[in-house]
Chain A
Amino acid sequence: MGARFGLCELAAAIFALALRSPLAAQQPPALEPAAPIACELLADTDGDGCVELLVITRAGLVTRHALGSDGAFRAIGALQLSDPTHSLIAVADVDGAPGEELVCCDSTGTSWLPFPGADGVARPAVPLARRARCTLALGQPQASSFTQDLDQDGRVDLLVPSLQGVTPYRQEALAADGSRSFRALDRLVTPVRARVDDPGLERDGRPVRERTGSFVVPRIETEDLDGDGKPDLLTREGNVHAFHLQDEKGGFRAPRTVDLAQFEDSTPKAAVAPGSTLVLGDRQLLQRGDIDGDGIPDFVIAHRRKVWTFLSSKDGPQFTKAHTQAVADDVSAVLLADLDDDKKADLLAFQVQVPGIGALLLGLVQSIDIDIKAVGYRSEAGAFAGAPKWRRTITLRIPPILQLIGKQDELLAKVQAVADKARLGVRGAFTGKGRSDLALVRSDGLALDLHAMDGQAPTLASAAGRRLMRRVLFEDPNPVFDLDRVLTLVGGFLDEVSGGLVGDTPPVASTPLRDAKQWRLGDLLVGAFDGDGLADVIAVYDRVDDGSLPAKDLPLRAYERVRFAAK
């Protein structure tokens, strides 16, 4: 009897502990495809109101998975991409029926790809725009944001990247027969970044261990430049910036351009003491921010000691009427930021002085100082005050390089400790409809915490960043920053941001994550899988590479539905 009582008591205690324990969670079986993965997407491709997980392998096999009643993933159809090494993949509603379609842009054009029906028979791709082709050497399928409603007319447009820029294909109104058509607009020039390793290094007798090559076609920058509530486009080619304003019909007007090279301060470049310091940068700089508080971004161009301020209006940006002013020192960088919280952007000019080559070489064995002069001008009456309101020189002290290299283990440990404070998180209605709960990786990386939140969680990055900048530049009594102070500052900033997101409230539930030595959490996906109206979290893990497989057979991934016990 006693024993039975003891067992019951023990069972009750375990049950109570399980209920209370933040680690109480049910882990359904994971999906671990055997093939190397290129990317994954969540989309409701069958229009049933529940999302499916689309897993795309490097070879271009797209497998659709739904969640079964047991919480495990169940494959419900697959299709093969015809040109996987050039395929950009997105999900978008392009057929008007409930749900979203898998859209693929490759070297043959842009189509949407229907999954096989219940009979398992493959269905042909549905062409959308044959001329919208991607010929970039991607190497494997890639998820991309190339389907966007650029003009916000409710129809998805296409942004097709190339090494020369981005060509928008605007979706026209539906034809009478319900067919869709896309019209190519002029190519937008974007600063495509392509890099290759320098063969000259090897020829100079400096061996190159790894040969590298890369390119990035950035997204088209958009912002409402004329206050009409519609996004306008910003592009750049070298020194020439172009602004494409959206018209009433959803098209884009001929761009307004400004060539920064025309803005030259005739003041000679800052003198340099031989062998001592150099002022970084002698190029024209363009920044935008709301200087007069009318909600429309204005522009500032700076070169050496001269600053041109251009106020924009409902007609958009203009670069003819400027307010010019001189600043005290040559400008290495400018920033428009609201330093005094009056909702108007103030001007922050930096002059960075770096040591010359001789001093840098001395830096092998001696610490070197990099001086950063920061001068802030308050915004007033649609321009900036003539005299600076904030001014200080801070010094970045770099310890002897050889000492740094010798103590790299300690340095790396410190940097890693700071870096570990940056945490991955996702928002969703996890605990109730309409909520914006936060699932945030715990600072030790061992678990995923669920924080229940009402409404939108605060976005603190910009506010906290502004506060940190003001404190560092103008308020901190000690203007010398060594590496330890910098790391402490960054760590404190990350703590502040994370703390600001979740406050002191403990998580309502937690679930353990896999051991990062075997499987490292790479991403968290959010979607409503089971039709209960609540969002689910999918943890995406990368198998840690032990060197036993060739790179072409990696990465191997695992997908795990995270179930919080309190849900």
Chain B
Amino acid sequence: MPPYCQAQEQAALAAARTRDDARYRAGCAIATTTALLLAPLAAQTPPQPTVMTIQLPETTTIADVVEQDVDGDGLLDLVLATRNRGERAAAVQVHLRAKDGAPFAASPSRPPFALDRDVVAVAFADLLPAPGRECVLLTPERAVAATFAADGSPEYTPLGAIQLVWPAVARGQAILLDDACGDLDGDGDDDLLLPEPDGAAWLRAEKEPLRWSLPAWRNPATAGQNGATGLRFDGSRLEAQLTFDDGDAEAARDNGPLARASFRTPTMRRIDLDGDGAVEVVAVRNDKAFVARMRDGALQASAITLPLPADRLIAFDPAFDVQFADCNGDTKADLLLTTSARRGDELEVRVDLFLARANGAFGDKQDARLRVQTLAVPPQLVDCDGDGVLDLALRTVKLDALRAFNGEAPTSIETQLTIFRGAGDRFVQPAMLATVLQVAARQDAGQPYLRVLHAPRGQAGSVLLREDDQLLRRPLAADGRKLRLDPPDCAMPLPKGARLQAANDAKEAFVRRAHELTHVRLP
């Protein structure tokens, strides 16, 4: 960054930080927008990205950030859920994306929308005749669209009764649902798919909601015997509930809570499974993929039994992952199934590719298999070499290096980024790229981040990663049939405690701190 730019930015940030709280409370988000010029001639210093920072008052924290086309102009806008600590008030603010120039204004494009205390989640969908997408407020039992009258006062239109999977607001902040809105039935209009206990509600404009009910979540550990203990693995947690009873049932009943509720539902993903151009909703639970198709105003439900290997770890598999994507270009979604198995004293991860048959089903046996070490993150399907076919990027933990460690606890560990070329029906071995990367393992180190960026057609992609409090972009360069990870062509220092969040556009990312959001656009 040229020195004058640095000075400008620091001065602006300092000024913003010292502004009095009263002005903050007036709802004026103070922001600093800095368009940084690249220094193409500075060969020693990698060019820096363009950044724009939204700063909130000290008493207001950023609870969530999503991108969504709020005004219906085809561009993804920025939506922030915020929480004011002192007043315990939650709000949503929208920053519309500009077609030209700086992508976002520093201050909200419309006044922040204060949320009532019972609003659990917020989505945006065009369900009313008003232009653009409405802000849909979701309480545990109601969906209401909020619009603004000519005088700016909010108007509320009930959309229907629901039962959200979240029965109460937690931590005083709302969840932003960026995956709820979409045209599920192909009629060109927005629909809302809302998570309900063990299912979902499908809300459409001026129509009765439809409901999708799923079987109950099955405990992969064990059900135990009569009247004994419940054991269950839930995500990364082992829960053991001991029914310790000396027979005084009355006392036990009186000691129970006054009220409680606990719900769950599988995450719903929208995928065009059969390649017909219309999306299906897929939910994975109990070793099955449950599929819902919304066609002709009706909901058609079906289920696919996942071809899981018999020797996989059943109760708790840290690598378990299910992805659907068209790997061989036949427009039908193929299945990428990641499971773990015990191999002697070692743990082995298998990434299996099942190609969709003509009828959309999957075979019992995988079409291709990769065996790798313990994964640090789920596999990423991305075209890294620009040939238009999805490749497979894996990040594994170098266990050998860990085992060789004898001294004090390490301050960094080695991970390996491996990229296998996609050949449509398999991933080609040996890998196109296998490179070792260090990950900080210190108390004050930020959360690790690595994302392989999609390659433009005919060119190699790149890798966006965090390294030593810097956000780096390292290009992938073609080296014959191999790929090479080059030194960074773009770098940006990260403030302490910052958390990185991927953006929809591979060239963009968000740097989040408690009161500050920085939008980063890479050159």
Contact = CB atoms under 8 A, between A and B. Distances in A.
Given A194-B168, A426-B249, A547 B441 contact: no
Nearest to B444: A357
B246 interface: yes
B242 A358 contact: no
Interface residues of A, number: 107
Interface string A185-199: 000000010111001
Contacts of B255: 145, 219
A299 interface: no
Nearest to B213: A550
A440 B245 CA distance: 9
Contact of A361 (B195, B267, B345, B402): B402
A217 B226 contact: no
A307 to B, nearest CB: 28
Contacts of B449: 204
Interface stretch (B40-48, B94-102, B406-414): B406-414
A550 B292 CA distance: 14
B175 A196 contact: yes
Contacts of A544: 223
Given A199-B64, A211-B195, A422-B243, A275 B410 contact: yes
Contact of B441 (A85, A215, A358): A358
B215 A358 contact: no
Contacts of B340: 405
B153 interface: no
B390 to A, nearest CB: 17
Interface string A335-375: 00000000000000000000111110110111000000000
A525 interface: yes
The main secondary structure of chain B at its interface with chain A is loop
Interface in A199-232: 199-200, 202-220
B346 A218 contact: no
Nearest to B176: A199
Contacts of A134: 259
A212 B265 CA distance: 7
A219 B256 contact: yes
A120 to B, nearest CB: 31
B506 interface: no
Contact of B228 (A214, A408, A422): A422
A419 interface: yes
B409 A362 contact: yes
Interface in B138-176: 140-141, 163-171, 175-176
A364 B396 CA distance: 13
B231 interface: yes
Nearest to B211: A552
A420 B443 contact: no
Contact of A415 (B214, B240, B257): B240
B261 A137 contact: yes
Interface stretch (B6-14, B315-323, B359-367, B419-427): B315-323
The main secondary structure of chain A at its interface with chain B is mixed
B263 A213 contact: yes
B247 to A, nearest CB: 4
A21 B296 CA distance: 64
A22 B168 CA distance: 49
A551 B371 CA distance: 36
Given A210-B265, A219-B258, A544-B223, A551 B198 contact: yes
B258 A516 contact: no
Contacts of A461: 244, 246
A457 B228 CA distance: 21
Contacts of B108: none
Interface string A160-182: 01010010000000000000000
A14 interface: no
B170 A144 contact: no
B441 A420 contact: no
B229 A420 contact: yes
A508 interface: no
B228 A145 contact: no
Interface in A496-538: 497, 501, 513-514, 516, 520-522, 524-526
8 contacts: A145-B254, A206-B378, A209-B235, A412-B221, A422-B244, A444-B225, A501-B247, A550-B216
Given A88-B259, A200-B501, A206-B378, 6 more contacts: A137-B141, A196-B170, A200-B64, A205-B378, A208-B267, A211-B267
Interface of B: 64-66, 120, 140-141, 163-171, 175-176, 195, 197-199, 213-218, 221-229, 231, 234-235, 240, 242-249, 253-267, 284-286, 313, 315-316, 318, 321, 340, 342, 345-347, 374, 377-378, 397, 399, 402-403, 405, 408-411, 413, 441-443, 445, 447, 449, 451, 499, 501-502
Interface of A: 85, 88, 134, 136-139, 142-146, 148, 159, 161, 163, 166, 192, 194-196, 199-200, 202-220, 274-276, 278, 355-359, 361-362, 364-366, 402-403, 405-409, 412, 415-416, 419-427, 438-441, 444-446, 457, 459-461, 494, 497, 501, 513-514, 516, 520-522, 524-526, 544-545, 547-552, 554
